[in-house]
Every structure is written in C-alpha cells, then in structure tokens.
Structure 1
Amino acid sequence: MINHRGPEFQDLVNNITQGLKQVYRTKNDVLTLTGSGTGSMEAAIVNTLSPGDTVLSVSIGVFGDRFAQIAEAYGARVEKLTFPWGTAIDPNVLKETLDKMPNVKAVLVTHNETSTGVTNDLESVGKVIKDADKLLIVDAISSLSSLPFYTDDWGCDVVAAGSQKGWMVAPGLSFLSMSERAWSAFKESRMPKFYWDVGKAKSYLDRGQTPWTPAIAIMYGLEVSLKMLIDEGLDNVYDRHKAMGDKVREGVNNIGLELFAAESCASNTVTSVHIPDGIEAKELLGSLRTDYDVVIAGGQGSLDGKIMRIGHMGYVPDKDLTEALGSLKSGLDKAGFQPKYSGARG
C-alpha cells in the first residue's frame, strides 16, 4: 500500500481523473470519492441544493424513488413525477410538468433503472430540462461505462456513478461530475455536508490528493479497468452491451417468458423478466443458485416475487450468457413451467 499523500498516489489520481473524463465524455470536473453509488447520489444533492428548494423527482423505479428520498431527508421540497414501472420517461409529459412548475430548481433523473430494466432517453430528457433552464442531476450508476453517455452534449450538470457496475471494479468508489452551473449552485448550497463536500474534494484534487483516506486498492483496479475501456473503444463497449442485451432478450423470448420492460426502452445492462404464473420466484432463483451455480436477481419493492433480473454489464463472456440462459430453461422445466407464448410488450 502506498502513502496517499505521496507522489505515487498523485500520479494514480491524475491518471484516473483523465480516464474518467473520457468515459464521462466531459470537460467538466470529475471527482473520485470513497463510498458507494448511493453516496454519489447524496453528494450530488447536498452540494447543489438548499433546504426548501423545490426539486422535481422523475422516477421509473426503486432507484428513482431513492433519489427523491435523499433529497427529502435533507429538507428539499420534492415534487414527484412517476411513470409506470417497466416504461421510460415521456419527454412530452416532463415538459408539460415543468411548464407548470416554474419554481423548480433541479430535476433528478435515473438514466438506467435496474429495478425495472429500463433505460431513459436521457438526450431527449436533458433537452427538455435544459430548455426549461433547470439543473439536471443524473444517477448514471448502472449506465455510465456500459451505455452511450454524453455528459456535455446532453447538458448534464451533475452525474453520479459508482465503481461496482460496468467499470468492472469492486464496490467502494463514487464518481461525480460537476458542470460550471453545478459549481455555481454549490456556492449557494446550504444543505449540510462534510464528508461529501465537493469543494474540499476539488481543492485536494487540484494537487493530486483526496481530502480523506481513499480506497487506494480499488483505485488501482479502476486505473486498469479505465485503460481496458478506452483501449476497447467506448463505441465498441456500447455495441458489446447492446449485443449482450439482444442475446438475453432473444433467449428469454425463446424460452417462452415475457419481458417486463417495454421493448422500446429495454436496458442493455439488465434484462427484467416476468416470473410465470405458478412459479415461485424464491424457489426458482434458489434452485438456479444451488443446482446450476447461476445467480439471477429477484424483483425489488412492489416487484418482489414478480420479476427476475438478469445482469449483463461489464466483462461478461458470451458463453456465460449462453450457460445462464440454458440453466434458466432447465430450472423452469424442473419447476414445471409450460410456456404459453413468447414475445415482449412494446
């Protein structure tokens, strides 16, 4: 382990920061913090808002709701715009809502909602928010490094992410990009902050350090994964994830299962699938883990027991997907599943 106040760590921080900016596709500041993805969401809120500020939370699932809960916990006045789980944000409805809420300061958006397997059209959503002259705060934890993402072109003011998804690194690091507009909001922000204070983080970043003891070992892993992503080429990374998403969705349809997310907005990092009638979710997923060494996640919140979620982000060999789909079919056959139809709703 190296000294986090020494020159070796300074080189590590500088390398990581330059790599992150490439993946974020931004000229804005990108800060590396030690904490989970939820920590980056909290940092995004407390560094740009004040108690009493009106915030519009646009939610399509569990993690969109979490964004709103964090803002409420710090005293923001949260207005909620929700869309049916399994569908994406409708930019036209968002525009109509913002037109009626001139006092909204910021809009909270989840780019890729893993609880439902849906990806929002952030480019269109961002244009609506930019035209309304509102601060755009984005949770990109499960999309950045896997799905097309253009921080600057899409007008994203704050983008929160974490190391444990498509970055292919262990949990423990949070990333936060800050636009000039976000820094202006930071100067006015009165929400309490200490550990997550991005002003402190920026002052230390300028000299190749972090304000607090960082997760050095994970940062070394991140340096390697960033090189892998950049060497592969980001467009190739996006294409690879699309191919994985297409393969899993086709495989699920061929088994005779029904996809949960609308086909038009289905995520390329996680596929959500209805649990068939007559099949007990916990028993099926438990059997897959025990009998086939295949781990598939269940539903969250109101979707607990109703859907399963197949992850395919980061480095996932094609043969792993083939084996997982084959095991899923075998597990369903063992459970007595009789397919009645195939195909997703669009």
Structure 2
Amino acid sequence: MKYRREHQNLRIPGPVPCPTEVIDAQTRPLIDHRGQDFGHMLKNLVERLKRIFLTENDVFILTSSGTGALEASLVNTLSPGDKILAVVTGFFGQRYSDMAKALLIDVEELHFEWGRDIDIGILREALATHPDIKAVLVTHNETSTGVTNDLASISRVVKKEFGKLLLVDAVSSLGSVELKTDDWECDVVAAGSQKGLLTPPGLSVISFSESAWRAYEKSSMPKYYNDLGLFRTFMGIGQTAFTPAISLLYALDKSLELILREGLDSFIDMQREQAFMIRSKVRSLGLGLLAEDRCASHSVTAVKVPENVNADDLVDLLLDEYSIVVGRGQGSLKGKLLRVGHIGKVPEQEIQDLVSALSSALTRI
C-alpha cells in the first residue's frame, strides 16, 4: 500500500491516512444506484465485509458516521423503557450510553476507571443484580483511553451465562483488533469507515444477528432512515434503502481489496507490532502510558504527560512546529494526555519523526 503524504503526519485515531489507491478510487464516474452494476458492487462489498467482521450475519452499509450505526443498533433492537446495561470505560462508552438515554431507554450504567478495562466479575455481578436487563452496550476499543476490552470474555458472561443481547461499538476496533463476531456471539456490531477500514469518513457498517432480528420484531422505537428492516428489503434487490455515497463505496471497495489481499490476520498483526513499537519508543522518552500492556489498544495509544505540562499545549506545538497531528485528551482526561493513532500501515519513518518531535517539544513546552 502506498500513502500520499502532503504536509502533515496525521497520527490521530481517525480519520486515518488512506492508501493512495483508495483516495484515487473515488474519482471513478458515478453509476446508477438502482442499476445492475451497483447491485453487483454492493453484493461484493457485503461479502467482503463479512470476512472482516468474521460473520455470516446480515451486514449493512449506511451513509453516516459510525454514530449512525450505533444509533441503528439501539433503535432496531430496543423500545422506549427497555432496561439495558451500558458499560462505560471512557468517553465513547459514555456517549453510547447517553445516546440510549436520549432514546428514552432505561439505562443502568456500570463505570470503570478511565484507563482500565472491564472487570468481568463486576460485570457478572451487575447482570445478576439486574435480571430485567435486556441488552448490554460495550465499547470494544475505547478510543479515549487506548484500552481494548476483552470482548471474548465479556461475551461468555453476557451471552452464555445471562442470555442478553450484546451490542458492540467497534468503531475503532474493526479491522485493527481481533473481533470474532460470530464466535463471540455479538448480536450487533457497529463501526465506521474512517478507521480500520482505511476509507474516508462518511460510511458506517453494521452486522445484525438472528437474535437481533427477533428483537427487531418486538422493537417499537421510532425509526426510518436507520430502519434495518428497510435495508434488508432493498438488499434483496441489490440496492440500498436510500441514495448511497457512491464515491465512498468505490473507496471502500478498494480498501477491502487491499486488506484482504494482505490477509486480515496479517493486517491486524502489523498494527499490533506498530503499537508495540510506539509504546516502547514513547516509554524511552520517560513518558507513561494510560493503559496497561495487557489491555493496550493496537489502534491508539494514550500518552500521559508530565504534571507540569498541559497536554493540549503540547498537541498545538507538535502541529505548529513539526506538522504532526495527534489527538487530545477527552472528557476528564482533557489536558492530561495526548492520543497517538496507529491504524493501518504507518511508515516507520513517521513513527520516528513523531518520537523525535515529541522529545524536542517536551524541552520547549
């Protein structure tokens, strides 16, 4: 994969730098989204996405950010007043919970310290204490803290022990972190195009299990644009329910080709090795990391700064003086850390440039 680097070393956890071939694919002439050529492309896209999700479940492509797919996970499986458990380990887990509250769902929140992963024993206790819970919301990879939650173990509790619906935010894990949708019995998995799928922002993808469809039949939540029943009907005739972002679908088509040509396992292993390299180099500067190694993300690393340093000032300096873009801390971590994204193939020189710039900037802040 070749990347076109203009002026900035973009090291945020999304959107990520896209391969040149993916960017160029968007320049193809548009086609009729109700025609046969589009139908063939859509069918191939869904078949290849299933290989990324590792699922035989239905998969749909929505024209929205990943947030649209997350809302779809709720409005298609739940009704106002349903009780759910939202497991919160950071900013995006809280946002998933807040989204459910806005839909008048009865949300029981289970909080863990930001920078820690989900304690399976505490999760089990929460489900035993609240037998009326219908579904559990989990953020697989918490982008705000650089923590990957153990989804396999979570599933064993949620599905095998308690038989609840498992709804998964995989926005920053799909394509970057091991995610076995079917083996782990994930009922709904939602993600966006702009991270591990190496595609510009604007598309979201969602997988939907048979258990999720049974929940759909009972759901009374108002929905139209995100009604997956409509999408399933139109998929039957090779179409999307509404006008799609055709140019972005071209880009996704190319990115999936590149990822699967390399092999999903190899693609994830490459990102794991990059993450290890970045963590090692950051530690060599004397900086600490928020997440423990055992649960550290392959897609983003949260770097703690010295107590006398405002992390936002450091982020600004890296951009202004070194043309390197890293993410800021979010929520309660604002000003306390910076977030380094390493999704997709990161040239080793860019990693070294980042570390050198960080070392220099720390002496100037």
**Could you say whether these structures have the same fold, taking a TM-score greater than 0.5 normalized by the shorter chain as the test?**
yes
Provide the residue aligned with 2:92 in structure 1. 63
Provide the residue aligned with 1:133 in structure 2. 163
> Which of 20, 37, 62 lines up with 2:49 in the alignment?
20
Residues 98-131 of structure 1 deviation map (CA, whole Å, 9 limit, x = unaligned): 1111100000000000001100000000110012
1:36 aligns with 2:65: yes
Q: Deviation at 1:220? A: 0.4
SS of 2:87's equivalent in the other structure is strand
SS of 1:152's equivalent in the other structure is coil
CA distance in 1, matches of 2:268, 2:121: 27
Q: Deviation at 1:282? A: 2.4
> Which of 172, 176, 197 lines up with 1:167 in the alignment?
197
> Which of 215, 223, 226 lines up with 1:193 in the alignment?
223
Provide the residue aligned with 1:338 in structure 2. none
- TM-score of the superposed pair, with normalisation by structure 2: 0.91
SS of 1:103's equivalent in the other structure is coil
**Greater displacement, 79-88 / 280-289:** 280-289
Give runs of aligned pairs for residues 73-152 of structure 1, distance below 5 A: 73-130=102-159, 131-152=161-182
CA distance in 2, matches of 1:24, 1:135: 18
Is the contact made by 1:118 and 1:266 (CA closer than 8 Å) also made in structure 2? yes
SS of 2:343's equivalent in the other structure is coil
- The answer to which structure, 1 or 2, has the higher relative contact order (CA under 8 A, 6+ apart) is 2
How many pairs are equivalent? 335
Structure 1 segments (4+ residues) deviating >6 Å: none
CA distance in 1, matches of 2:99, 2:314: 34
SS of 1:166's equivalent in the other structure is coil
Q: Deviation at 1:281? A: 2.0
Provide the residue aligned with 1:154 in structure 2. 184
Q: Deviation at 1:29? A: 0.3
Is the contact made by 2:46 and 2:59 (CA closer than 8 Å) also made in structure 1? yes
Identity %: 48
**Greater displacement, 311-320 / 197-206:** 311-320
CA distance in 1, matches of 2:268, 2:215: 32
Q: Deviation at 1:324? A: 1.0
Provide the residue aligned with 1:179 in structure 2. 209
Provide the residue aligned with 2:269 in structure 1. 239
SS of 1:143's equivalent in the other structure is coil
CA distance in 1, matches of 2:176, 2:78: 29
Is the contact made by 2:270 and 2:345 (CA closer than 8 Å) also made in structure 1? no
Provide the residue aligned with 2:329 in structure 1. 299
CA distance in 1, matches of 2:87, 2:118: 8
> Which of 236, 241, 248 lines up with 1:211 in the alignment?
241
Residues 145-173 of structure 1 deviation map (CA, whole Å, 9 limit, x = unaligned): 11111000001000001100011101111
CA distance in 2, matches of 1:42, 1:77: 15
> Which of 291, 295, 317 lines up with 1:287 in the alignment?
317
Residues 23-63 of structure 1 deviation map (CA, whole Å, 9 limit, x = unaligned): 00000000011000011100000000001100000010011
Provide the residue aligned with 2:299 in structure 1. 269
Provide the residue aligned with 2:280 in structure 1. 250
Q: Deviation at 1:323? A: 1.2
Is the contact made by 1:68 and 1:78 (CA closer than 8 Å) also made in structure 2? yes
Amino acid at match of 2:52: V
CA distance in 1, matches of 2:344, 2:233: 32
SS of 2:134's equivalent in the other structure is strand
Is the contact made by 1:51 and 1:190 (CA closer than 8 Å) also made in structure 2? yes
Is the contact made by 2:271 and 2:345 (CA closer than 8 Å) also made in structure 1? no
- TM-score of the superposed pair, with normalisation by structure 1: 0.95
Is the contact made by 1:168 and 1:315 (CA closer than 8 Å) also made in structure 2? no
SS of 1:137's equivalent in the other structure is strand
SS of 1:12's equivalent in the other structure is helix
CA distance in 1, matches of 2:342, 2:139: 18
SS of 1:3's equivalent in the other structure is coil
> Which of 239, 243, 256 lines up with 1:226 in the alignment?
256
Amino acid at match of 1:173: L
SS of 1:23's equivalent in the other structure is helix
CA distance in 1, matches of 2:35, 2:98: 39
1:325 aligns with 2:360: no
CA distance in 1, matches of 2:238, 2:92: 32
Q: Deviation at 1:334? A: 2.2
CA distance in 2, matches of 1:39, 1:122: 22
SS of 1:334's equivalent in the other structure is coil
CA distance in 1, matches of 2:315, 2:183: 41
CA distance in 1, matches of 2:301, 2:105: 33
Provide the residue aligned with 1:342 in structure 2. none
